[in-house]
Amino acid sequence: SPVQAEAIRATGASWFQWINYAIQPQVMPRMIGLSVYRLDINFRESAVIGIVGGGGIGATLNTAFSRYEFDTAAAILIIIIAIVMTLEFCSGFLRKRVQ
């Protein structure tokens, strides 16, 4: 909030102290949340891009489906879901920890 930033500025804090104690605590939860969210989006998009021919885990998933290896496809899907859930858990944990 501008009030906190102005209060710290009024105490004679240097620019680095102002950033460290006024700006960073307000911005860090959002930055962490957005960074993990973007990582999650990138992971999901890589799976979709692989399915349409771009390679990666999506290509492996597509190959498993085309060869009727449903056990392998299920394992890949479980891994993708587990990674997404882990990223969500880490995001929530980090946001709570920073606040």
Looking at residue 26, what DSSP letter applies?
H
Residues of the chain where predicted confidence (pLDDT) is lower than 50:
none
Q: Residue 43's closest CA among 57, 32, 59? A: 57
**What percentage of the chain exceeds 70 in pLDDT?**
99
Residue-wise pLDDT tens digits, 64-92? 999 999 999 999 999 989 988 898 888 78
The predicted structure's pLDDT at residue 73: 95
Task: Name the helix (H) or strand (E) containing 23.
Answer: none
| Distance, C-alpha 33 to centroid of its chain | 6
